[in-house]
Amino acid sequence: MMSKHTKVGIIGGGPAGLMTAERLLQAGLQVDLFDAMPSVGRKFLLAGKGGLNLTHSEPIEPFLRRYGTRAPEIGRWLAGFSPQALRDWAQALGIATFVGSSGRVFPVEMKAAPLLRAWLHRLRTQGLRLHARHRWQGWTEGDVPTLLHFASPGGPVSVQTDAVVLALGGASWPQLGSDGAWVPWMTARGVSVAPLQPANCGFDVAAGLSTGGWSPYFAERFAGAPVKSVRLHFHDGCGPDFDRPGEFVITSTGIEGSLVYAAASRIRDAIRRDGHATVQLDLVPGRSLESLGAALARDRATRSMPRHLKQATGLEGVKAALLRERHNAAGLAESLARDPLQLARELKSWPLKLVAARPVAEAISTSGGVRFDALDDRCMLRNLPGVFCAGEMLDWEAPTGGYLLTACFASGVVAAEGVLSHLGCAT
């Protein structure tokens, strides 16, 4: 077994771990970063595949509200590394950013790879030692917490450190390295860990009056189809109702996408509490109830029911197919003849009963993790002096839109400051 010594060992090469490394290197410390994968930043690269949403430009007060009950803790992180500081940091790497129409902030090149390449180049010139394919094996009985054991291509490796930063992620996208294997090792050492759950996830739907999800035709024909220009309303009795315009995507078993992710934590918690959750979709948000009802009530003459519905409502494609998931042609005709205003009400508040969150491995991110009361203000574990935690492995969550990445970066800054304080270095 090979044995080494380093000043600080960081486990996990995502944004939180890399940011911790940068701050410690700037302070002149020797830093070794270990990652189980062949290269670092894999989830970061995948997240930026369709356009890296680095942060958001909204004022800090609404920005913090995105973190729900964890806003006070995340607020302390962001006080030391704000969304604007993140943009300035990227600019210093030669990566210019811009604010999109939604307020989201992107690199001008839109991709994560140029930023990661520039960042790793700077870290290596600062002296970072990267160790790929080094999978942490947890602690063995009697180990001091700053002694680390790895399985590596060359065999077992043990590393004695003066301080450790764990930035191991949650349990989403395990094929990229975040598999939650660390949970039992932490609990065995008396660290309180909230169960890992899916966040920013899709949901399975109970279509119509059945509990079997979409009809086979709908699932086969429309899985992957975007549902645009809708408004999602959700009442769970826990604070103000969720009510927001946007779009989402049909899956073979239900729904996912940005509008769904924005409400995901509340939907997930309601399902856990009640066994199901029903959201209402306004399928025609640009139309008033009265004008829609009047259009539906017009004589359709010789027009077919689908043609009349399209002319009266503008619904076609996947939206029209959603109607057929609840009403067959005869049912729609009967509903239209009996009470066109009631049908208009349905289109303005179309119910979708959701019965399960998709598995955590499919989620964009996770909630749960190391509880904040297990940490001091500098992210050091109270039960394990010298061991710090950062990033998604902590018990917080945020919607997509740059909020996840911003907080991960900021947590790395806090952990680095904690290490420096613990080691008696000037900050």
Q: Considering 340, 357, 374, which residue would you say is the last residue of a domain?
A: 357
Q: Do both 35 and 90 map to the same domain?
A: yes
pLDDT given at position 37 = 92
Range of the domain at 22: 2-199+366-422
Residues 219 and 246 in one domain: yes
Same domain, 277 and 213: yes
The whole-number pLDDT of residue 1 equals 40
- Domain membership of residue 387 (yes or no) is yes
Examine residue 157 and state whether it is found in any structural domain, yes or no.
yes
Average pLDDT of 100-121?
A: 92
Provide the residue type at 19 as one letter.
Answer: M
Q: How confident is the model at residue 204 (pLDDT cuts 50, 70, 90)?
A: very high
Check: CB of residue 226 under 8 Å from CB of residue 286.
no
Q: What is the mean pLDDT of residues 256-268?
A: 93
Q: Give the domain-ending residue among 308, 327, 357.
A: 357
- How far apart are alpha carbons 371 and 174 in whole angstroms? 21
Tokens describing residue 368: 């749960």
Residue 427 lies in a domain: no
The reply to whether 89 falls in a domain is yes
Both tokens assigned to 288: 């008033």
Mean pLDDT within 345-352: 90
Any domain includes 120: yes
Alpha-carbon torsion (68, 264, 17, 59), positive or negative: negative
Average pLDDT over every residue of 413-424: 95
Please give the single-letter amino acid code of residue 220.
E
Q: How confident is the model at residue 122 (pLDDT cuts 50, 70, 90)?
A: very high
Looking at the fold, whether 147 and 207 belong to one and the same domain comes out as no
Please say if the pLDDT value at position 353 is more than 60. yes
Judge if 19 and 162 occupy the same domain.
Answer: yes
CATH code of the domain in which 153 resides: 3.50.50.60
pLDDT the model gives residue 127: 95
Q: What is the mean pLDDT of residues 172-185?
A: 88
Number of domains in the chain: 2
DSSP string for residues in 86-129:
HHHHHHHTT--EEE-TTSEEEETT--SHHHHHHHHHHHHHTT-E
Q: Last residue of some domain: 336, 357, 378?
A: 357
CA distance 100 to 20: 28
CA atoms of 143 and 110, how far apart (whole Å):
45
Domain match, 339 and 375 both: no
Mean pLDDT, the chain, whole residue set: 90
| Beta pairing class for 147-152 and 155-166 | antiparallel
Q: Is residue 165 domain-shared with residue 35, that is, in the same domain?
A: yes
For range 182-191, the mean pLDDT: 95
Structural domain contains residue 126? yes
Global pTM reads 0.88
CA distance 92 to 73: 27
136-145 tens-digit pLDDT: 999 988 889 9
> Is there a domain that residue 244 lies in?
yes
The beta-strand segments (E) located in 142-241 are 147-152, 155-166, 193-199, 203-206, 226-234
**pLDDT tens profile 228-253:** 999 999 998 888 899 999 999 999 99
Name 370's bridge partners.
193, 394
- Tell me the pLDDT band of 159, cut-offs 50, 70 and 90: very high
The reply to whether 167 and 301 lie within a common domain is no
Q: Are residues 118 and 161 in the same domain?
A: yes
Say how far apart CA 325 and CA 385 lie, in whole Å: 57
Highest mean pLDDT among 266-280, 281-295, 306-320: 266-280
Q: Predicted confidence band at 211 (pLDDT cuts at 50, 70, 90)?
A: very low
3 has pLDDT over 60: no
pLDDT digits (tens, 9 = 90+) for 286-310: 888 888 888 887 766 666 777 877 8
Q: Is 347 exposed, middle or buried (0-12, 13-18, 19+ CB in 10 A)?
A: buried
pLDDT confidence of 209, banded at 50, 70, 90?
Answer: very low
Predicted local confidence at residue 316, as pLDDT: 85
Residue 221 and residue 137 share a domain: no
pLDDT tens per residue, range 25-80: 999 999 999 999 999 988 888 876 778 999 999 999 999 999 989 999 999 999 99
> How many angstroms separate the CA atoms of 79 and 216, rounded?
51
Who wins on pLDDT, 339 or 351?
Answer: 351
| Residue 427: band (very low, low, confident or very high) from pLDDT cuts 50, 70, 90 | low
In a domain, 373, yes or no: yes
Which burial class, exposed, middle or buried, applies to 421 when counting CB atoms under 10 A from its CB (0-12, 13-18, 19+)? middle
Residues 276 and 374 placed together within one structural domain of the fold: no
What's the DSSP call for residue 298?
A: S
CA angle 249–254–255, rounded 5-degree value: 30
3-state helix, strand, coil in the chain (%, to 5): 40, 25, 35
Instruction: Decide if pLDDT at 156 tops 70.
Output: yes
Helices (H), 7-50: 15-26, 42-47
Q: What CA–CA distance (Å, rounded) separates 366 from 356? A: 15
Judge if 116 and 183 occupy the same domain.
yes
pLDDT at residue 2, as a whole number = 42
